[in-house]
Amino acid sequence: MIKIEGLKKSYAGRPVLQGIDLSVKAGEFLVVLGPSGAGKSTLLRCINGLALPDAGRTVIDGKVLDLKRGTRGKRPVAMIFQHHNLVKRLSVLKNVLVGRMAGLSSFLSMLQLFPRQDVAIALDCLARVELAQKANSRGDQLSGGEQQRVGIARALAQQPAVILCDEPVASLDPKTSRIVLGYLKAICKEEGIAVICNLHQVDYAVEFGERIVGLSGGRVVFDDTPDNLTSEIVHQIYPGLEDPGIARVLKPRPASQPVLAPMIATATA
Amino acid sequence: MSFGTLQLVLRPPQGRFGWWGVGSITLAALVFLWWAALGSQINASNLWNGIPYMVDFLVRMMPPNPEFLERLWRPALESLQVAVWGTLLGVVIALPVCFFAARNLSPSPVVFHATRQLLNCMRGINEIILALIFVAAIGLGPFAGVLALAIHGAGMLGKFFAEAMEDIDEGPLEAFRSAGVGPFKTFFFGVLPQVLPTWLGTIFYRLETNVRQSTVLGMVGAGGIGFELVSSMKLFKYQDTATCILVILAMVLIADLVSSRVRALIR
């Protein structure tokens, strides 16, 4: 169970996150929707300490996550990036071992010596994304989709409680995107890892998300199942959106939904 | 403006002073060049009158004395040895310094600028001058040459190493940080693989330069083939001088060839 409480962050006086409260259960696949600049990336970076929040905290299974920069050692939060962020000239296996590296000896690592158990975990994670046969390929010999799967394996090797994904499929084609998100969802379910996944494609959000959080202007404007996502709310999240296709990916629903009205009202206010 | 069927197409100068600005800058540049020519006493007639003496010099060098090779191969190899260790020590000195000279890895801007200036100073002093200092300090011989090349080379290598690190993709470093990996392992697995090809290329380029430099270090008593070059000239044995120059040329060409081959291989 991951609880994010009262997260606030501003850059150069411009508020980016204005008090975010979220909780994600183990094994839950949460999608964060929102336009560029809504604070999706900042939210994830504040959760894992790549950015320091001005206020608020993250509690994982009852323990407050220490976000101080430079905190080393094993982390219960793993991250998957839009641009994979693999070391291209390193082998695939070593890229995955990065997920194990926090606990390992610097000296032995420098000699390219790794504990057998950690290598086994890394290989196992590679097998989970069906890339075991590529363990000895160089990072840049893989296709974009494969590189992102290695990114997933690296995050999984960290054996985290939560995996954060920052636009993991933004630079992939639709078919590859679906495969990558499929692996993520499977891992989420089978390992019971909570996933917080930033997306900007509404259709993937509806297809893969178990819960969708809409972010707009640094606030949560929607937090519910994809079934309750209406085209009004999509327009709320993406102001000025002109895309008649959006209605097609949303679940058809009865005409009026009074339950949602107050939420839209508060968000507009 | 047009000349018959031809038309002059020129974009008018965009600066505040228009054509007047361009004209005055051109004039200033010409005055500067004239001033520099006066100072360096550039003189076409001196060059013209000197041609017979140059021809005389070349004629006296002919043919190069092949017997001199016998005395030359030892100092030639010494020059090579000086170049190799000068390069290696330069790398050893540059490595710990270069992290502080990389804008993105340096702990603070003050450290960054201080380190860059230190490297500039090391690089700013010519090898021959450094060699003179080291000969005075530790005595005649090739080791003074090694130290001279190491100091000057470290200045250049440190700067190039640092610039290579400034150009890396920092995305992977973020991945290391979010996995909680410490700075040493982050450098070793995140930075080094990215800069290694550039670094090796720089080192081989430096080795090539050092081979060229090491052939003149002997002039100030810092070992190698340069000593033979100068003494043969002082004794007016120009045929020996010619042999020396040919050997130096061969060494430099071979170093150049090997270095560019190796650098092409790494890429």
Distance from CA of A155 to the nearest CA of B (A): 8
Give per-residue burial for A102-114: e unless 16+ CB within 10 Å, then b. Answer: bebeeeebeeeeb
The answer for B 191-220 residues in CB contact with A (under 8 A) is: 193-194, 196-197
pLDDT-derived band at B255, boundaries 50, 70, 90: confident
C-alpha A123/C-alpha A127 separation (Å) is 6
Q: What is the pLDDT of residues B88-105, one digit of tens each?
A: 999 999 998 888 888 888
Question: What does each of the 269 residues of chain A score in pLDDT, given as a tens digit?
Answer: 888 888 888 888 888 888 888 889 888 999 998 888 788 888 998 888 888 888 888 888 878 877 665 556 678 889 999 998 999 989 999 999 999 988 888 888 888 889 999 999 999 999 988 888 988 888 888 988 899 999 999 999 999 999 999 999 888 888 889 999 999 999 999 989 999 999 888 888 888 989 999 888 888 888 888 888 888 888 888 877 777 677 677 766 555 444 444 454 454 44
| pTM (predicted TM-score) | 0.76
Task: Delimit the domains of chain B by residue range.
Answer: 73-266
Tokens of B62: 């002919």
The ipTM estimated for the assembled molecules is: 0.84
Identify each DSSP E strand in chain B by its residue range: 2-3, 6-7
C-alpha B127/C-alpha B87 separation (Å) is 13
Q: Determine, for residues A87 and B172 on separate chains, whether the beta-carbon distance falls below 8 Å.
A: yes
Q: Determine, for residues A78 and B193 on separate chains, whether the beta-carbon distance falls below 8 Å.
A: no
**Nearest by Cα to B188 from A113, A14, A180, A44:** A113
pLDDT of residue A225: 86
pLDDT of residue A147: 92
CB B167 within 8 A of CB A63: no
CB B209 within 8 A of CB B62: no
CATH architecture entry for B73-266: Orthogonal Bundle (1.10)
**DSSP secondary structure letters along A160-186:** -SEEEEESTTTTS-HHHHHHHHHHHHH
DSSP, collapsed to helix, strand or coil, labels residue B192 as helix
Q: Measured between beta carbons, which residues in chain B are less than 8 angstroms from residue A94?
A: 189
Q: Is B237 on the interface with A (CB under 8 A)?
A: no
Q: Is B74 on the interface with A (CB under 8 A)?
A: no
For residues B224 and A143, the model is more confident at A143
Distance from CA of B198 to the nearest CA of A (A): 13
Shortest CA distance from A49: residue in chain B: B178
Identify each DSSP E strand in chain A by its residue range: 2-11, 14-24, 29-33, 55-60, 63-64, 77-80, 162-166, 194-199, 211-216, 219-224
Q: Determine, for residues A75 and B190 on separate chains, whether the beta-carbon distance falls below 8 Å.
A: no
Q: Determine, for residues B175 and A88 on separate chains, whether the beta-carbon distance falls below 8 Å.
A: no
Q: Is B176 on the interface with A (CB under 8 A)?
A: yes
C-alpha B19/C-alpha B169 separation (Å) is 45
Q: Which percentage of chain B shows pLDDT scores above 90?
A: 21
pLDDT of residue A261: 47
CB-closest option in B182, B184, B193 to A89: B193
Top residue of B165, B174, B178, B184 to mutate, by most chain A CBs within 10 Å, is B178
